[in-house]
A and B are shown apart, each in its own frame.
Chain A
């Protein structure tokens, strides 16, 4: 199990660099522009599908092999999934850039097919292994939400091509974003972290009891939010969903604190340090958001506020976590491929020797600083801040990714 995860991860890295190269061309000011236009949708899907989801899929193939102690149900299906999903997302991106509806609908159908193949492959492996724990349960839920997100996206694409339910488009869009962001990424990242963080910290003897309420709260928040967006539950129902999700992330942060309390390795590396800080920031942000809403119910009505919340979640937590984990996943994959057959022989490097930890720290610090400046710029409507922050975010991201890619030369 090396080539398939690596294929997804390499493609994800290409998508990520392309995203930031395009961002630099506009000096990051696209963050200031309205997102609901073909250019905005192109960027969002490049980031969400060809970067974050691509990496996440590769990580699922890699980690399920480990967690279930069983080979994936079908490697051929895995490669077919890669081909169909990649072709679908490329067609989809072209459809957005060219405002070409047949490409949009066709790309969405192909991407959906890829997602279904992925869910089938991983789902069949899980059913065969019959290993149920918070990691596999979270992953299974995340897979279901991914399929639902892709179905909703495809329905929107088809609705453009063959207008049937135009008045429902905004509802579908809100549910599509909600389920994808929180159901797919939220449950997958938290679920994988239950396994990965204790490994990196060499934690033993910690309690796993908080993992269960995180799963329950996230599912409750995702489902109530999706239903209220889809069927018009109103502001109060949506706020309640946000409250439940915020509570889930606060409990998740408490679980991480429990893992770190029982650590036996003081430094898991700066990538993991940033991953953990991003989880703390998310919990704090979620709690602050909730408290503000309770005190000032009208505080979140502006477009800027919605943008700040969405960007913080996607960049501050999802991307930051993926970037942090990449500093471990890529050296692991490459070390296993190149040095695994030489394990036990002299002069074999450790994984830590394959990536300069200080460079990882500087790269992610630049990303975090750029994001904070850009978010402040969006909130206060300062184009200069957005430009400066967006540029720093992209420069930091590209430099960081060059550190990751250099692992393959070691």
Chain B
């Protein structure tokens, strides 16, 4: 059986989009940390703003994307507000996408 890696988890999380911005949460820089131990995964993430209306939806999307694609024994998703998200965390691809109409 192939061992699950952090990169695989990160790649899977690219399927989760902020539906308002249309950018995936990895490129947005919302995923702070991923730890994988056997089939146990911990994801530490944030949102662009505290009180984001899409809080439950995006966290639910993270759970769904990982559980649907990986046979996980344990999944823990923690949303943190420190350090606060800043636009500097976005990837070049995300910046280009958001500036598309400029």
Which applies to chain B's interface (DSSP): helix, strand, loop or mixed?
A: loop
Q: Check A345 against B68 for contact (C-beta < 8 Å).
A: yes
Among A187-239, those with CB < 8 Å from B are 195, 198-200, 202, 204-205
Of A149-157, A331-339, A385-393, the segment with at least 4 beta carbons within 8 Å of chain B is: A331-339
Interchain CA distance A204-B89 in the complex, whole Å: 12
Please report the total number of B residues contacting A with Cβ < 8 Å.
Answer: 33
Give per-residue flags for B5-43: 1 if the beta carbon is below 8 A from chain A beta carbons, else 0.
000000000011101111000000000000000000000
Contact of A204 among B20, B51, B86 (CB under 8 A): B86
A128 interface residue per 8 A CB criterion: no
> What CA separation (Å) do A348 and B57 show in the bound complex?
12
The yes or no answer to A351 lying at the interface (CB within 8 A) is yes
8 Å CB contacts to A: which residues of B50-64?
51-54, 56-58, 60-64
Contact with A along B83-102 (1 / 0, CB 8 A): 00111001000010011111
- A46–B58 CA distance with the chains assembled, in angstroms: 38
Q: How many A-B residue pairs have CB under 8 A?
A: 86
The stretch of A112-120, A176-184, A260-268, A318-326 in contact with B is A260-268
Once bound together, how far apart are the Cα atoms of A332 and B102, in whole Å? 24
Please determine whether A66 and B53 come into contact, CB atoms closer than 8 angstroms: yes
Please, what's the 1-or-0 string for A59-89, where 1 marks a CB less than 8 Å from any CB in chain B?
A: 0001100111100000000000000000000
Looking at the assembled complex, report how far the CB atom of A125 sits from the nearest CB atom of chain B, in whole angstroms. 14
* Chain A interface size range: 20 to 34
A266 pairs with B60, CB closer than 8 A:
no
Q: How far is the CB of A283 from chain B (nearest CB, A)?
A: 25
Q: Given A204-B86, A352-B22, answer yes or no on A343-B57 (Cβ-Cβ < 8 Å).
A: yes
Query: Is B49 in the interface zone, CB < 8 Å from A?
Result: yes
Q: Which residues of A contact B101 (CB under 8 A)?
A: 266-267
- Rounded to whole Å, the gap between the CB of A366 and the closest CB of chain B is 22
With a CB–CB cut-off of 8 A, which chain A residues contact B15? 344-346
CA gap between A265 and B99 in the complex, in Å: 6
B51, B90, B99: the one within 8 Å of A67 (CB): B51
For A335, the chain B residues whose CB sits under 8 A away are 19
A350 interfacial contact with B, CB 8 Å: yes
Instruction: List the B residue with the shortest CB-CB distance to A341.
Output: B60
Closest to B95 in A: A264
Given the contacts A264-B87, A343-B58, A343-B64, A202 and B17 also touching, CB distance less than 8 Å: no
Q: Are A267 and B102 in contact (CB under 8 A)?
A: yes
Interface flag for A34 (CB, 8 Å): no
Q: When A66-B51, A264-B98, A343-B57 are in contact, do A350 and B64 touch as well, CB less than 8 Å?
A: no
- B17 CB contacts on chain A under 8 angstroms: 343, 348, 350
Known contacts A66-B53, A266-B102, A344-B68; decide if A199 and B20 are in contact (CB<8 Å).
yes
In whole angstroms, what is the CA distance A74 to B82 when docked?
32
A204 touches B87 (CB 8 A): yes
Contacts A265-B21, A332-B20, A339-B19; is A344 near B102 (CB within 8 Å)?
Answer: no
A199 to B53, CA, bound (A): 10
CB < 8 Å neighbour of A198 from B22, B49, B63, B64: B49
The verdict on A336 contacting B98 (CB below 8 Å), with A69-B51, A344-B62 known, is: no
| Contact B57 A202, beta carbon cutoff 8 Å | no
**Within 8 Å CB of B51, what residues of A?**
66-69, 195
Query: Counting CB contacts under 8 A, is A163 at the interface?
Result: no
Name the residue on A nearest B86 (C-beta): A204
Q: Is A297 an interface residue (CB 8 A)?
A: no
Residues of B close to A200: CB separation below 8 A: 20
Q: Which residues of B contact A195 (CB under 8 A)?
A: 51
Least CB distance, A262 to chain B, in whole angstroms: 9
Q: In the bound complex, do residue A350 and residue B68 qualify as a contact, i.e. CB atoms below 8 Å apart? A: no
- Name 7 extra pairs, CB < 8 A, besides A266-B99, A340-B56: A69-B51, A264-B90, A339-B19, A340-B60, A341-B60, A345-B65, A350-B22
Which residues of B are interface residues toward A (Cβ below 8 A)? 15-17, 19-22, 48-49, 51-54, 56-58, 60-65, 68, 85-87, 90, 95, 98-102
Q: Name 12 interchain pairs, CB-CB below 8 A, sorted by A.
A: A63-B53, A67-B51, A202-B98, A266-B98, A340-B56, A343-B17, A343-B19, A343-B58, A344-B60, A344-B62, A346-B15, A351-B22
User: Which 5 pairs from chain A and chain B are nearest by CB?
Assistant: A343-B61, A344-B61, A344-B65, A266-B102, A267-B101
